[in-house]
Amino acid sequence: MAEDKPAESPVKGLDLSDYKLKVDHFDQVHVLGQDNIIEGAPNFRQVSGFPIFGCAQPTEEGFKNVLEKVPRGTEEKPVKTIWYNMRQEPVIYCNGEPFAPRHPGRMHDNLSIDEPVDEMNRLEVCFGEIVKERAKADPEKLLKINKDSEFTENPMERENIEETIKTKSVKCLPEVFNELKQQQGFKNLDLIRVPVVEESAPKEVCFDILVDSLKQEPAGTQCAFSCQAGRGRTTLGMIIACQVKEIQICTELRKMAEIGLVPQATAEDLIKQKFEFPLPKGQDDDDPFIKGEFDVIKELLEKLPDAKEGKAKIDRLINLCGPGPKGTGLQNLRECIIETKWKYDVAPEDRQVAWRQMILNFMERYFYLICFATYAKECGPGGFEKSFVSWMDDHSKLRTMIEEGKDKLEWYRQVDPAKLNTLKDLMNGPNYKENMPIIIRTIYEFAFITYADLPRGPIKNNSMRKLSAKTLLEILPAEVSTKVQERLDEQGANPDFVTLIGLVSYYGQE
C-alpha cells in the first residue's frame, strides 16, 4: 500500500534503503573512570567553571539520567538546557539504544554529505521510517544490526559483526526529545544539530550555528554536547561554547565597571580568577609540537597578528576540555595532532592512510579553532553581529593557507646523513660480519637520537624499532638484502629489527 512506503530521501541521489544499522556504543566506550559515571551516558563530564557538559550518544534512559543530574533550577526560575547533537549522520533509537546508518561497503565510516541542517533533520526522520518498515516487514519484528568486534582507533583495523535483535520500539532522535519535553517534564530543553563529520574539521557554518544559538542566551544557560563516543566532536562543541560564554561574562563585567556598578579592579580580578587561573603543568608542555607550533600555525600567527592572543586563549580552553590533569575530557584537540603523527610513524604502510587523513583533519580543525578565537575576540564583545563565515570571507586567504599548509609535516624522519654513511662504510667493508655488533649498537643509537623528541613509552619504542629495521635493510649488501627481502615476502611480514638480525646472521654465513 502507498501509505506503507518509507518517506523519500530529502537528499537528492542519497537512498538509505540499503544502509545498515550500526550500534553507537562499543565495549569500553566509557574511558573516564567510575567517579562520575551516569548510566546510559558514557564519558559524561563537565568543564570546570562552566555550565557545559558532554558525553557519548546517550541511550533513551541516559538522556533522562543526564537531565536529572544537571541543575534544573526551580519552578519560578527554571534553568534552560540546550542539547547539541554534534553529529551529521542520522541517529535512530531501537529499543532505547542509539544507532546510525552505515553504507554496506563502508561499515566503519560515518555518513558524510554536504547538506543544510534542515535536510539532515529530514534525512534522519526518513531513515527512521525506513527502519520502522524493516521491523514491520518481519513477522517476528526482527532487525539486523551491526557492531565492531572490538574498538580500535584506526578504522582500517576494525572488524564488523552482524547480529539480529527483536524490536520493541524504533524512534528517531527528535521523537526521543519530544517525549522528554512533553511526557517526562523537561520543558526547558532545546535540541540543536551541529553537523560535524567524525574526526574532521567542522564547516565554518557550524561555528555560526553554535554562536547564533548562544549569543542571545544568558551566560547561565546550560549546554550539553554529544556525539557517538563523546570524543572529538563533543569536545569541539564544548570548546566553542566555553569561548562564547567567557566573552559574554567578561563583556558584562567590564560594562558593569564602565557604568560604576563595580570597581574596574574588581571586575578584572574576577575575570582573572575565573578565566586565567593557572592549570597544572605537564611533563611535555615545552615540546613545540605539543604546544601546536606547526609550520602552518606559525604562518597563521605571522600573517594574522591577533591570532597570537587567539591561540593562547583557545589553547587554554582546549586544555580545560581535554584530559586530566588540566581538564576533565577525553581528547586534547591540539596535542592529538602530534600524538596521531606518532601513531602514523609506527604503523605499517597499509594502515598509515587513515592516520594521515586524521592528522590533516586535526590540523585543519586546530587552525580553525584559532581563527574562531581571533574572530570571537574581535566580534564577541559587540554581540557577534558579524558571522564567522563573513569574517572568514574578509580573511579568505586563510582558507588557502590551511588548505595548502596542513600537510607541511615531516612525514618521514630526516636521518643524519653522516651517521648513515658511517653505517654503510661498516657494512661495505670486507669484514662486515665482524662489524655486526658495532653496526647494531650504532643503529640503535641512530634511532634513539632520531626519535629523541618522543616521550618514553610504546610509541617511541616501536618508532625506534621500525627505523632500526628500515636502516638495516638500506645498508645491507645487495646479495644478502635480496635473500632477506625474499624471505620477508614469503612470510608476508613487515621487517622487525630482531627478525632482520636473525635473517642477516643466517644468510650472511652462506
Given a contact cutoff of 8 angstroms between Cβ atoms, the answer to whether 78 and 86 are in contact is no
Residue with cell 559574554: 248
Stated pTM of the model: 0.84
Which pLDDT tens digits describe the chain residue by residue (510 residues)?
344 444 566 666 688 999 999 999 988 888 898 877 899 999 999 999 999 999 999 999 999 999 999 988 777 888 899 999 999 999 999 999 999 999 998 888 888 888 889 999 999 999 999 999 999 999 999 999 998 877 777 777 778 889 999 999 999 999 999 999 988 889 899 999 999 998 899 999 999 999 999 999 998 899 999 999 999 999 999 999 999 999 999 999 988 988 888 888 888 888 888 888 888 887 777 888 999 999 999 999 999 989 999 999 999 999 999 999 999 999 999 999 999 998 888 777 778 888 999 999 999 999 999 999 999 999 999 999 999 999 999 999 999 999 999 998 877 666 667 777 777 777 777 766 777 787 788 887 777 777 776 767 776 777 777 778 878 877 777 777 788 777 877 776 666 777 777 777 766 665
Provide the pairing of β-strand 81-87 with 189-196: parallel
Grid cell of 330 as nine digits? 577525553
Query: Which residues face 163 on adjacent strands?
Result: 145
- Other Cβ atoms within 10 Å of 407 Cβ, number: 13
Q: Give pLDDT, residue 415.
A: 64
Q: How far apart are CA 147 and CA 23, in angstroms?
A: 6
In DSSP terms, which residues pair with 22 in a beta bridge?
100, 146
Q: What is the pLDDT of residue 2?
A: 40
The phi, psi pair for 449, rounded to 5°, reads -65, -40
pLDDT given for residue 208 in this prediction? 98
- Nearest-angstrom CA–CA distance, 322 and 332: 4
Report pLDDT for 410.
Answer: 75
For the chain, how far is it from start to end, CA to CA, in angstroms? 79
For 215-294, where are the alpha helices, taking DSSP H only? 232-258, 264-275
Tell me the C-alpha to C-alpha distance, in Å, between residue 413 and each of 52, 345, 443, 451, 471. Answer: 41, 9, 15, 9, 12
pLDDT score of 209? 98
Q: Beta partners for 87?
A: 196
- Residues 260-279 as b or e (16 or more Cβ within 10 Å = b): eeeeeeebeebbeeebeeee
- Tell which residue, 302, 332, 295, has the closest CA to residue 316: 332
CB of 254 closer than 8 Å to CB of 267: yes
Q: State the Cα–Cα distance between residues 497 and 502, nearest whole angstrom.
A: 9
CA within 13 Å, CB half, 312: 8
How far is residue 271 CA from its own chain's centroid? 30
Q: Please report the pLDDT score of residue 203 as a whole number.
A: 96
Nine-digit cell string for 416:
643524519
